[in-house]
Each structure stands twice: as C-alpha cells, then as structure tokens.
Chain A
Amino acid sequence: MKCFEMCKPSTHSQQDQPDNVSLGDRQRDVIRKILENQTQDTPRNSDLSLHVAVDAVLRKRAWCVSEAWPTLYGALGDKYEPLFRDYAALFPYPPASSAIDGYRFSFFLRSRVSLDSLTKTQILSFELLNVTKGGAWLRKRILPFAKAMWAEKEGMLIIGLRIKSSLCLACIVSMQRKPLLTIAKLAANHT
C-alpha cells in the first residue's frame, strides 16, 4: 500500500454509519494491537504472527513520512529508522496524513538532534500553512502569518511569510559567514 498527503482528517462516514459490531470490533482490536506492538496478546480469533505485521506497519509508516518529509530523512540518514521507532513507540497512533506525522516527528526530534536549515525550512513552511500546537496539527491556516526559526547547525535565521493559501516566502540569513539573503518562493505541497 502507498501513502499520500491526505488533507482532511478522517472525521465522518467511517464512524457515522452503523457498524458491523462483531467484525468491526475484531478489526479495531487487531489494528490497536499492531499499533501498540502488543504481540504477546493474541487478538480475538487471529493467529500469533502479529509481530511481522507490527514491523511491516511501522516500516511503512516510516517510509510514508520519509516521502512526505524528504529533508528529515536526508538529514537523519542512518539514524532515521531508530529515531522513528522511538517516536512511534511514544506516538503509536498515526495521524490522518504522513505530512502531519512527519511534523509531529520533527517536533519529537527537536530536543534530541540538531536539525539542519533545510529541514527547519520545511518545518517553517508547514507551520506557515497550518495551525499547530505542541507538535500537534490543528487545522489549515487561513490568515497571513509570519514566523522565524533559528537553524543552529548552520547559524542561520530562517524567516517565513505566508501570503496566499499555498505560497510562502522564506528568507534565509546567514549569521556566521558572509551575510546572505535568499528569498525562496516555496510552493507548499503539504498540509
């Protein structure tokens, strides 16, 4: 299965309609056990091979986030997978889109690793387009908005300004080396 930007969280229809209690409960039970890595408990009427599903689902989720957040994946390199596993252990339930999952992952990383300016630019772009709080995605941002972020690795101050619904400007100013002003027009493809 593949993963994509899903702009809207799953809020209706799947739960609005009358559920087939028995099979629906069993499906929920299996998903919960896979996401929570509870392979020691056998879900109702299923076999014991859930540990394979746990790993496959986690790797798929990590791959989806790497697709949505290539800067994160590139910046972390070999550390990406172990760090993502730590993150997923803390947040076992993936949100509605891999873009949001990646943003939450980047929030998780802030106190653990020093992220580069490219990744910070993507984080900034995400925050310019979306209302977030404490690493959680809340909704799409409507009003114009400006934000700055410090990339300590390169000693850069990244300044972003959201003008229209799908555009933002990012100004990158080098504070360490020779002064540099770059204005990048970013077509924000993620929610």
Chain B
Amino acid sequence: MSSTLVGVSWRMFNAKQIEECREFVDILEVMTEELASLKSRQPLLEDYASVNKLRAHSATLSLGSTCHPDSWRLDEIRRVLVKYNLRSLSEHIAFVRSGQLDAWHLLPMPMIKESINILANNVSHIRDILNVSVSLENIVPLFRWADDDYSEPEFISAVIKECKASLLLDIENIRITCKNFNMDPYQFISKLPIESISAVHIAGGIVYLGRHRDTHSEDISYEVLELLAFLAKRVHIPEVILERESQLTSESLYSQLKLIRAALT
C-alpha cells in the first residue's frame, strides 16, 4: 500500500510560507478560480504540476443548481486545467446560486432523489466538457430542508454512486456538522463509502452565534485529528490536504503538517 500524500491548499497569500515548507509538502491543491484570476506565473505550482502533484479544486460551479454551470466559468477552469495539465477536479455537493441570485456561499441541497439527479446531470456535464475525473466534497450545511428523505451519510453515498465520482471527504466539515446537528462523527464516517475516498480535507474552524463554522482560519483541532486517525485505520487515504484561508507562518504550517502525518501513522 502506498503512503498517504500530505499537502496544503495553495493560496496566494500563503504562497511564500508554502514555498519555505516545500520539502514537507507532498502535494498542492489550487482553487481554479484564484488561479484563473492570477496573471503572473507560479513556478512552484508548475513544479508540482510537472510531477502530477497538483490538484484542482473549485467552489463556484454550483453543481447543485437546477441548470448547468455557466459556460464562462467552465472556460476559465478549462484554461487552468490545460495550463497545468490537470486531469481531475473537485467540487462541492451544494448549490451556490439559482438563476441570477448568487449567495456566494455553499448551501445545502434538500436530501432528496431529485437533488441526486441534478448533481449527476451536472457532474456528467462538466466531465464531458472538461474531460476530467470528478471528486465531490461534503459541506457544512447551514440549515436543513424539511423534506429530506435521506440522512446525510446516505445522501453523500447515493450522490457518489449516481455521479460516478470519488469522494473528497472533508472531515472538519463532518466534525462541525455533527456538533451542530448533534450527531456522532464516527458513526457518520462509518456510513460513508470510504473506499471511494480520493482525498481528505482537514482544517480548523470557529464557534460563532452558538454554531460551529467551517472558516479554515484556525489550527486543526485534536478532535479532527482523532477523526483522521480513525479513518486512516479503516481505509487507505491517498491524499490529505490542509485547508487554510488565513495567514500562517511557515513554522505553523510545518507543525500542522507534522500533526497530520502523526495522525496517519
């Protein structure tokens, strides 16, 4: 069994720190939207891409919307994929907009069969257009729909199956969801199709207005590291990506990566 690759989500504001920790970073994930907006060359990303250690992640396609993603968004992503020779793309099990109304935030879909069909249709569409394999990520639901027919693990499992996608499992999102909706994260994970995991996201959030939030702004918690260790004992995790959307020092990044590696052993 090959070892797990441990990496970090690359953001422009953390590029220098990541470069400084380069020898400890096996793999990088980039936001396609950020990369599309950058005019300058990014040699670090090119280096990782050249050895197939760069992954594309997107958050604005709104695969849960009832119509196909905007073609201009797909064009921008395609340019990034071609430029870095990337063959896979991850997105979220969520909707962001409906028609002209844009929430600019990942929102949960009702967990019903109709939602699964919509996701499958949109995933098939982007797979055809972009010629990539697709991974889908679980989100933190900010609210619940009243007509849910599935539990969340059931819904994620059905989505992964119907979309013929792999699972990008965000274990911080599971920790937060279980805190907010009073569920057991270990049982939650046990009900997921963990054999379909292509990568794991890990991050640190905050508590605000009595709810746990997925802000990617804090250091990872021991609770989430325990979840990672629990998962690693059950299945081989190909890749673990640390998500961070606030500035951090290279020392902090190094210690976070070290904690992740320790949890995997």
Contacts and interface: CB of A to CB of B under 8 A. Distances in A.
Interface string B69-99: 1111100000000000000000010111111
Interface string A32-59: 1011000000000111011111011100
A64 B245 CA distance: 11
A13 B68 contact: yes
B101 A2 contact: no
A20 B114 CA distance: 10
A3 interface: yes
Contacts of B68: 13-14, 17
Interface in B216-257: 245
A5 interface: yes
Interface string B16-44: 00000000000000010110110100000
B67 interface: yes
A10 interface: yes
Contacts of A94: 102, 104
Contact of B142 (A18, A24, A56): A56
Contact of B98 (A24, A57, A166): A24
A78 interface: no
A153 B97 CA distance: 40
Given A28-B101, A35-B103, A1 B59 contact: yes
B118 interface: yes
A14 B65 contact: yes
Contacts of A114: none
Contact of A47 (B64, B100, B144): B144
Interface residues of A, number: 49
Contacts of B177: none
Contact of A46 (B94, B106, B144, B209): B144
A56 B105 contact: yes
Contacts of B128: none
B71 A31 contact: no
Interface residues of B, number: 49
Contacts of A35: 101, 103
A175 interface: no
B186 interface: no
Interface in B45-74: 59-60, 62, 64-73
B145 A2 contact: no
A12 interface: yes
A96 B73 CA distance: 12
Which of A24, A56, A60, A64 lies at the interface centre, i.e. has the most chain B CB atoms within 10 A of its CB? Answer: A56
**Closest A-B pairs by Cβ, 7 of them:** A20-B66, A53-B142, A24-B66, A27-B98, A4-B33, A5-B37, A17-B67
Given A19-B66, A45-B110, 12 more contacts: A1-B60, A3-B33, A4-B36, A6-B73, A12-B71, A14-B100, A30-B107, A34-B107, A47-B144, A50-B143, A57-B142, A96-B102
Interface of A: 1-8, 10, 12-15, 17-20, 22-24, 26-28, 30-32, 34-35, 45-47, 49-53, 55-57, 60-61, 64, 93-94, 96, 98, 166, 187, 189
23 contacts: A3-B33, A10-B70, A10-B100, A13-B68, A13-B71, A14-B70, A15-B99, A20-B67, A23-B114, A26-B110, A28-B99, A30-B107, A31-B101, A31-B103, A32-B101, A45-B110, A46-B144, A46-B146, A47-B143, A51-B209, A53-B107, A56-B105, A189-B37
